[in-house]
Amino acid sequence: MLLVDLTVHNYKEKDGTTRYCYLLPNGNQSPTLRLKPGELLILKLKNDLTEMDLPDSGAGHTHLRANSSKHSDACESGVMSATSTNLHFHGLTVPPVCHQDDVLKTSIQPDDPPFEYRFRVPDNEPPGLYWYHPHIHGFSTGQVLGGASGALVVEGIERANPKLAGLPERVFVIRDQDLLNPNAPPSKSEPVVPKTLIDRDGDSANNGTGFGKPAKDLSLNFVPVPYPDYPPAIIRMKPGERQLWRVLNASAVTYLNLAVLFNRAPQMLGIVALDGVPINWNPAAVNEIEWHDHIGLPPGARAEFIVEGPPAGVPGLFVTRTVDTGQGGENDPNRALASIVATSDAPEPQSTLSASPEPLPPPALPWLGSLTPTRVRKLYFSEKLQDPNDPNSATTFYITVDGQTPTPFDPASDVPNIVVKQGDVEDWIIENRTSELHAFHIHQIHFELLDWSGIPVNELFLRDTVNVPYYNGRALQYPSVRLRMDFRDPDTVGTFVYHCHLLEHEDGGMMGIVRVEPTDHAHAPESLLPSNRVSRTGHK
């Protein structure tokens, strides 16, 4: 059992930005939670947020679902304000009910006593990197951009992949934040971006040049790497040492494209898990390690990979390369994250994987990709300027089930956009009708990427967040992904959300509701029946 007392706290920096963090009683920030499959987590969250004249994010409205008396039930209040908070455990297959992983109604206010999250990590949860962050609709961006996020490791990845036995491991959380030096000219070492390529935000037009002002600064485990000079953090390793790096993109809006360079030459990275699931979780997986020289990570996604330290004296660099996010997207240029310094006296990471792991039994359920989907649904991302004649007016963001009327997410309604039956698998085609990338994410479940704009890719591994390519305005068809969605686990029964993981888009309306109905109503726990709005308690 893991007992954690966290306080979510905010304060104003000298530069006027508001920072958020989770504090342990000893003052440590945003701890990495480590849990074994089957282990109980009891996390008490105290809301210590104060009003800081936050910039409006997204929809920006304060929505009171129900009665907002001072000590309203945090399970039912649904209050959405800048000082409300809650937690989402991204990637875990735990039930979408209050005190576990509900974000639709759970809302903790500053006056509330510490709120208890209590759940058992499922016995069959794949070992890997998950994370926690607040998920109050309309206010997620501000809190996550401010730093409210942390890693959660389900231990035992070396039991799924024996090649990892005995490796030292490190967890890297990459966050984004508002630019520290928004008015600084680009570094002198950069080529000058022609004026014609600069968009209205003052960014380079994001045409993949890799240069220009980024939309947000990045930090690596809270060490900021600010524009324009990107002074890197420092990672010390022993020369040639193999380590497992577990990297979380906890950015609110920034896409990453990770690479490790020695003397500027890209090195091979041995991917062993994506989005918390080992890539050899599929019994038919050919490789236990997939070697690539770069790894794309949309906001919310994770990658776990083997890195070898540079030879002694050879300078190493951990970087993110540019991502072409489309005309409507943010500028995500090339930039350094950390220098890798190899010396024989480098300290070892704090944590090492077991040297003689007991192998995990193979998954009990058949591989998702080997099944026939019960049905196929189509959804699409779209955007609309609130004043079509004013390109600077606010944008409304939509994710719409094909055939339904596009409407931004309505927190006052819990009418599902999609109803599925527990036990089913479905294929969802997600189309992008906008000129920027979106990152499709769904709570509670993982999926398999089958097609990329109609071209079969049939990935042999699972994801919970996937990039959807942007529309270039010319092609005859919108770009899309086809996903095999897995609703077999009984823990998925209930009502939860899918959304774009660029949190400005989610806050701005790009979210929908799915309800997973139990196969047999007669045996469903009362609290999970869709008509029941009174007793959504997750535990007693």
Query: Residue 5 and residue 476: Cα distance in Å, rounded?
Result: 53
Binding letters toward Cu ion, positions 429-468, x by CB under 5 A:
---------x------------------------------
In sequence order, which residues have a C-beta less than 8 Å from that of residue 502 and are 6 or more positions away? 252, 253, 299, 437, 438, 439, 510
* Helix H or strand E encompassing 504: helix 503-507
Stated as kind and residue range, the H or E segment containing 142 is: helix 140-145
In the complex with Cu ion, which residue's Cβ is closer, 337 or 510?
Answer: 510
Stretch near Cu ion under the rule CB under 5 A, chosen from 165-173, 228-236, 404-412, 492-500:
492-500
Stretch that binds Cu ion, among 10-18, 190-198, 464-472, 501-509 (CB under 5 A): 501-509
As measured in angstroms, the least distance from the Cβ of 468 to Cu ion is: 8
Beta bridge partners of 2: 41
DSSP 8-state code for residue 138:
T
Distance of closest approach, residue 480 Cβ to Cu ion, in angstroms:
15
By C-beta, is 104 or 511 nearer to Cu ion?
A: 511
Closest CB to Cu ion among 431 and 491? 431
Q: Least distance to Cu ion from the beta carbon of 435, Å?
A: 12
Minimum CB–partner distance for residue 177 and Cu ion (Å):
19
Q: Choose, by CB under 5 A, the member of 258, 303, 502, 514 that binds Cu ion.
A: 502
Q: Which stretch binds Cu ion (CB under 5 A): 90-98, 331-339, 404-412, 500-508?
A: 500-508
Among 297, 307, 337, 500, binds Cu ion (CB under 5 A): 500
CA geometry: angle at 306 spanning 310 and 162, to 5°? 135
Nearer residue to Cu ion within complex by CB, 59 or 79 = 59
Rg (CA), the chain: 22
CB of 505 to Cu ion, least distance (A): 3
Cα-to-chain-centroid distance, residue 186 = 29
Distance between start and end Cα atoms, the chain: 17
In angstroms, what is the minimal distance from the CB of 290 to Cu ion? 27
Strand pairing partners for 318?
A: 260, 338
How many residues touch Cu ion under the rule CB under 5 A: the total is 4
Backbone angles phi, psi at 341, to 5 degrees: -110, 120
Distance of CA 270 to the CA centre of its chain: 21
Q: How far apart are CA 468 and CA 431, in angstroms?
A: 7
How far is Cα 255 from Cα 300, in angstroms, rounded to an integer?
9
Q: Which of residues 85-124 bind Cu ion (CB under 5 A)?
A: none
Q: Is 399 in the site for Cu ion (CB under 5 A)?
A: no
At 275 the three-state DSSP class reads coil
- Distance of closest approach, residue 57 Cβ to Cu ion, in angstroms: 14
86-94, 158-166, 210-218, 495-503 -> range binding Cu ion (CB under 5 A): 495-503
Distance, in Å, from the CA atom of 421 to the CA atom of 59, rounded to the nearest integer, reads 31
Task: Identify which of residues 257 and 395 has a Cβ nearer to Cu ion in the complex.
Answer: 395
135 is an interface residue for Cu ion by CB under 5 A: no
Rounded Cα distance between 413 and 498, Å, is 15
Stretch that binds Cu ion, among 28-36, 425-433, 503-511, 519-527 (CB under 5 A): 503-511
**C-beta separation of 538 from 491 below 8 A:** no
| Of 129 and 502, CB closest to Cu ion | 502
Binding residues (CB under 5 A) for Cu ion: these are 438, 500, 502, 505
